[in-house]
Chain A
Amino acid sequence: TQLLEQSPQFLSIQEGENLTVYCNSSSVFSSLQWYRQEPGEGPVLLVTVVTGGEVKKLKRLTFQFGDARKDSSLHITAAQPGDTGLYLCAGEDTDKLIFGTGTRLQVFP
């Protein structure tokens, strides 16, 4: 069974701080997606990474896919209260997604 573990599980920080969320697996994935989910809503796609070593930037968010395509990280610079939410990584496994355990981020003003 493929598993994706995310760390940390919970993160509470002040506005303006930087943070990194990690997504690790023992399995290789053909691609990996990052989603953000608000309470009571479905996950919203942030980015897809496909190539080992790939780095993608989305404003203050930087996503990296490990060289071996087993792990990924999400770095947020100067976090804002609007970044609050549940961050999920998901690996593509034969046409379906395997989701990580999630990182709940709270950014206080």
Chain B
Amino acid sequence: DTGVSQNPRHKITKRGQNVTFRCDPISEHNRLYWYRQTLGQGPEFLTYFQNEAQLEKSRLLSDRFSAERPKGSFSTLEIQRTEQGDSAMYLCASRKLSYEQYFGPGTRLTVT
């Protein structure tokens, strides 16, 4: 049973550029979550999917952020026109129904 994988692990980009991250959940996990974690803080919920449907979005998710899970398997998180405040660790987690969430290793984004 492979775990949650995320790519890339690290991304450095210049302010104003667009970036896209990918998350591959544990197979057969129908729920997929995105969280953001800044230095010294706990992760904060951004959005989640049940299969291909996006069920909830946090108010933290500005219009520059968009997430998709087109076939109910992997998911992408895109940030347009990145700002320095977007620098953070972006974490993906998956779960089967209401069981525990399992996290991937994260994508560390640095906006210069």
Task: Identify which of B6, B31, B42 contacts A102 (C-beta below 8 A).
Answer: B42
Contacts A48-B100, A95-B98, A100-B42; is A40 near B108 (CB within 8 Å)?
yes
Residues of A within 8 A of B33 (CB): 96-97
Q: Find the A residue at minimum CB distance from B103.
A: A42
Secondary structure at the B interface, as helix, strand, loop or mixed, is strand
**Inter-chain contacts of B44 with A (CB < 8 A):** 99
Q: Which residues of B contact A45 (CB under 8 A)?
A: 100-103
Chain B, interface size: which category? Answer: 20 to 34
- Complex CA gap A14/B42 in Å reads 25
Are A33 and B100 neighbours in the complex by a CB distance under 8 Å? yes
**Contacting residues, chain A, for B48 (C-beta < 8 A):** 95-96
Kindly supply a per-residue 1/0 record for chain A positions 1-13, scoring 1 wherever the CB is within 8 Å of any chain B CB and 0 otherwise: 0001000000000
Q: Judging by beta carbons under 8 Å apart, are A99 and B55 in contact? A: no
A98 touching B45 by the CB < 8 A rule? yes
Residues of B within 8 A of A4 (CB): 42
Q: Judging by beta carbons under 8 Å apart, are B91 and A43 in contact?
A: yes
CB within 8 Å of B: which A21-50 residues: 33, 35, 40-45, 48
* A97 touching B45, Cβ below 8 Å: yes
Alpha-carbon separation in the docked complex, A4 to B41 (Å) = 12
Chain B residue with the shortest CB-CB distance to A88: B42
A95 touches B42 (CB 8 A): no
Tell whether A84 is near chain B: CB-to-CB under 8 Å: no
Q: How far is the CB of B79 from chain A (nearest CB, A)?
A: 19
Closest to A47 in B: B100
A95-B31 in contact (CB<8A) = yes
Between A42, A45, A100, A102, the greatest number of chain B beta carbons within 10 A of the residue's beta carbon is seen for A42
Interface centre among B56, B101, B105 (most CB of A within 10 A): B101
Interface residues of B in 30-86 (CB under 8 A from A): 31, 33, 35, 40-45, 48, 55-56
Given A33-B100, A95-B98, 10 more pairs with CB closer than 8 A:
A33-B101, A40-B106, A40-B108, A43-B103, A95-B31, A96-B56, A97-B35, A98-B45, A99-B42, A102-B42
